[in-house]
Structure 1
Amino acid sequence: MTDNSWDITTNLGATALAVAAQRAAETAQPHPLVRDEFAAILIDAVNEPGWQAMAKGDLAWMGPDDEVGRRTARAGRDYVATRTVFFDEFCTVATASGIQQVVILAAGLDARAYRLACLSGIDVFEIDLPAVQTFKDSTLRVHGATPTASVHPVPVDLRDERWPDMLSGSGWIPAATSAWLVEGLLPYLSSAEHDRLFGVVTELSAPGSRLAAEVYHHPTRHFGDQRLGTWREGAAGIGEALDIDVDVTAFINDDDTSDTASWLVQHGWVVESLDSRDEMARLGRPIPPDLIDIAPASSLVTAVLPSP
């Protein structure tokens, strides 16, 4: 991860915007996998034409001659939509099991606390840097948005060792079961940061707690040189076409060798892992065969911490 001297439109802030723009673009489709009307509100608040064009979802800004680029962009949008469905369904299962507190690590512009009926009355703790928290909360408040959940912002960098204390100070109850969401975070961590983060989460988790994580395996087919190189080239092309900072790969720690599923198993969690490409196919958004080696791919991991 990098330092925190950035705002919502630069550096890591742009990664949060990029995901929100993809969710807005998916919502604008005739038959979307997810509906996140708050994503477009957040993108509009930035007031930059490039981000707004990206959020419309019609890909008109790419021009008529770049068919491969358009198909690759659609596959990227389909991936974000599939990932969103995965974490939405996790929230539904977790709350149905009786969990009453949800912790979203590096929450970014996540609006689940506003749009998911399953979170009605649930305590949702959103951990992220103050600049992100302020932008999201103030923007949604201006538009009169009301969360379905009881939202508890925790404005802190996850690299700050005080974050567990700040989480507790925000009303989180250590003795109660928790559901942890780790979305769009792990690619930016080193192996040491990965292990430290999950070590803290495990220490904080009461038996019966659940966890969902989006995992990229850097040394394997998920983040091989070809896939990452194509991703970076595509981000550069999008940034140039729209005049925005959209390179979400710039901060990826591709020296990371973590295996999240194995780490969790070794530390007492019961783990299931899905390939995102299989999930995309299940949801009717399969990756075209000629793009299978370059479109985004990850493991979608769920875990439960059983009683001793």
Structure 2
Amino acid sequence: MEILDAVARTSLLTAALRAQESRRPDGLFRDPFAARLAGVLGTDLFGRIGDVTQPNRAGPAEPVPSTFAYNAIRTRYFDDLLLARVAEADRPQVVIAAAGMDTRAHRLPWPGPVDVFELDRADVLAAKESVLRAEPAPPRATRHRVVADLLGPDWVAALTEAGYDPGRPSVWLLEGILYYLTREQVGQVLGRVRDATAPGSTVAADLVSATALTAPAVAPLLAVFESWGCPWLSGHDEPEALFAGYGVEATVLQPGEPGADFGRWPDPVPPRDLPGVGRVFLVHGRRR
């Protein structure tokens, strides 16, 4: 496995979480590649997160939000969304930005031919490829690896050179990345997504609320990420307004709400009008 920087290493944590979910008899999905992609480092990161988020641990009286449940719900929610949008599309194209160890091109039962563009830095894509090239099962989609930094100046050009057509509707996923960016960087990324998408395209992402960055219940989790060198840098209390500013009419759900529960979310779901609560959001919408 290539040496990855702090934010890129969180993709190994995500792989470890997906591996754990895949071992459950009632798992919300199956990712047969996740355990190998996580490796020893991802397993170690998984253990560190478990120390501060597992129930019945010694620690603060108010429980830390469940990272394990959230990752499972988030993965299944976006799996279902991608499959539904692709089923509606003519010549569908899916862009997974900051793709990390994502294996949807291999594991999802795509309803027909689809182009999946995995955009990430060269070291991340190489680390994933070093594992996947040993797999006997080919991807179920046409997979395009796009070497680019999401914060760099040239990634839209790199995407189009790989075969992406900005004139046709597309489906974009920004999963597990926006809270590692500053508010200015989030705006930069969403602005480029707006400029690279045709009307009718779908944009999906997950976010944390701004309040989550200072909520006492989330502090132990934030401290772990900060100790790894990848602190959460921004949150947004009104994701509908954020995405509307970039041409996307967004639907926003909290884990545990209908459509984003799957019988798994263990915590109370705070009403949106209750102030001072740390939240996570699952967002998707159509580009105007």
Give the TM-score of the pair, scaled to structure 1. 0.78
CA–CA separation in structure 1 for the residues paired with 2:266 and 2:259: 7
* Structure 2 residue 283 is matched with structure 1 residue 304: no
Aligned equivalent of 1:217? 209
CA–CA separation in structure 1 for the residues paired with 2:77 and 2:278: 15
CA–CA separation in structure 1 for the residues paired with 2:222 and 2:229: 6
Find the partner of 1:208 among 200, 214, 220. Answer: 200
CA–CA separation in structure 2 for the residues paired with 1:12 and 1:267: 25
CA–CA separation in structure 1 for the residues paired with 2:58 and 2:66: 10
Aligned equivalent of 2:3? 7
CA–CA separation in structure 1 for the residues paired with 2:222 and 2:115: 37
Shift of 1:141: 0.9
Aligned equivalent of 2:84? 93
CA–CA separation in structure 1 for the residues paired with 2:45 and 2:204: 28
Shift of 1:52: 4.1
Aligned residues: percent identity?
30
The structure with the greater share of residues assigned to helix is: 1
Please say if residues 273 and 301 of structure 1, whose CA atoms lie closer than 8 Å, have aligned partners that are also in contact.
yes
Aligned equivalent of 1:271? 250
Find the partner of 2:217 among 201, 218, 227. Answer: 227
Aligned equivalent of 2:71? 80
Q: Decide whether aligned partners of structure 1 residues 143 and 280 sit closer, same or farther in structure 2, where only a CA change above 3 A counts.
A: same
Aligned equivalent of 2:100? 108
Aligned equivalent of 1:242? none
Please say if residues 105 and 143 of structure 2, whose CA atoms lie closer than 8 Å, have aligned partners that are also in contact.
yes
Q: Decide whether aligned partners of structure 1 residues 185 and 28 sit closer, same or farther in structure 2, where only a CA change above 3 A counts.
A: same
Aligned equivalent of 1:23? 18
Please say if residues 119 and 148 of structure 1, whose CA atoms lie closer than 8 Å, have aligned partners that are also in contact.
no
Aligned equivalent of 2:230? 250
Gaps of 5+ in 1: 1-5, 237-245, 290-294
Please say if residues 255 and 261 of structure 2, whose CA atoms lie closer than 8 Å, have aligned partners that are also in contact.
no
- Given residue 17 of structure 1, which amino acid in structure 2 is its aligned partner? L
Task: Write the deviation string for residues 137-157 of structure 1: whole angstroms up to 9, x where unpaired.
Answer: 121111223110111111111
Shift of 1:118: 1.9
CA–CA separation in structure 2 for the residues paired with 1:34 and 1:248: 28
* Structure 2 residue 57 is matched with structure 1 residue 68: yes
CA–CA separation in structure 2 for the residues paired with 1:55 and 1:143: 24
The total of aligned residue pairs comes to 276
Task: Write the deviation string for residues 76-127 of structure 1: whole angstroms up to 9, x where unpaired.
Answer: 2111000001110110121022151000110000000000112652111111
- Given residue 131 of structure 2, which amino acid in structure 1 is its aligned partner? T
Aligned equivalent of 2:131? 139
CA–CA separation in structure 1 for the residues paired with 2:69 and 2:259: 7
Give the secondary-structure state (helix, strand or coil) at the position aligned to 1:196: helix
- Given residue 305 of structure 1, which amino acid in structure 2 is its aligned partner? R
Please say if residues 21 and 72 of structure 2, whose CA atoms lie closer than 8 Å, have aligned partners that are also in contact.
yes
Please say if residues 215 and 278 of structure 2, whose CA atoms lie closer than 8 Å, have aligned partners that are also in contact.
no
Aligned equivalent of 1:35? 30
* Structure 2 residue 276 is matched with structure 1 residue 284: no
Please say if residues 190 and 246 of structure 2, whose CA atoms lie closer than 8 Å, have aligned partners that are also in contact.
no
CA–CA separation in structure 2 for the residues paired with 1:253 and 1:175: 33
Q: Decide whether aligned partners of structure 1 residues 197 and 258 sit closer, same or farther in structure 2, where only a CA change above 3 A counts.
A: farther
- Given residue 253 of structure 2, which amino acid in structure 1 is its aligned partner? L
Give the secondary-structure state (helix, strand or coil) at the position aligned to 2:219: helix
- Given residue 301 of structure 1, which amino acid in structure 2 is its aligned partner? V
Task: Write the deviation string for residues 147-186 of structure 1: whole angstroms up to 9, x where unpaired.
Answer: 1011111111111110000000001011111100010011
Please say if residues 214 and 299 of structure 1, whose CA atoms lie closer than 8 Å, have aligned partners that are also in contact.
yes
